Each structure stands twice: as structure tokens, then as C-alpha cells.
Structure 1
């Protein structure tokens, strides 16, 4: 999945891994002991579309303005 502000193709990922000298994401985290790695799912809300986000931010801005 490509994100507007986080463009990352498979080629991008491989280039970044090569730049830092590891072959895979697993290699990147190899020094972190298995017992302290988080393996669960993060409890975050689903992503919103850009128009939905703008609408929510506008509402928050109005709310903040009204609190002044």
C-alpha cells in the first residue's frame, strides 16, 4: 500500500535496507531479544481518507477557536 506522505515501494525498502547494511527487516531487529519484541496488534483506529482527515481537523480547529 502506498501512502501519499510515506511513499515506499519494495525497491525503496530494499534500497534503505542496503544503505544501512542489513538484508531484511528481521535482520534490522536481530539485536532486540525475542522476549521483549512486541508481536501483537496495535490498537489504532483505521486510516482515514485525506478529505475525512481535513474535515476532522477543521472541526477541531473550530472547537479550539471556540474555547479561546
Structure 2
């Protein structure tokens, strides 16, 4: 995956701290939380952006949300 320089972390400590502070990537296991996460993302993104779904266990949660 290509990451623009302005989107990159400063170093490994930056993203590790972000995760340790309770942030996460992806879709929560709980269906209501998953639905809320997808709705939140849809409000943030313009209509011209498509949200992709991975091919792992998170895919079903994302599609159901």
C-alpha cells in the first residue's frame, strides 16, 4: 500500500501509542457498534468515495452494517 508522506506516522511509537490509547482499525465485533462505525465513516466521506470490504472475518460485519 502506498502512503503519502503527509499521511505517514512520524515513527513506530506514534502508531503504537495510538493503538494503545484504544483506537482501532476496522469494524467492531458488536453489530450495533459496527453499524455505528460504518454510518460515521459514511458521514465523513464524500459520496464519490467507496468504502471497501476486506476478505477476512471483518468483511461480514462490514457488509451487515
Q: TM-score, normalised by structure 1?
A: 0.28
Rg: which structure is higher?
A: 1
Structure with the greater relative contact order (CA < 8 A, sep ≥ 6): 1 or 2? 2
Q: TM-score, normalised by structure 2?
A: 0.29
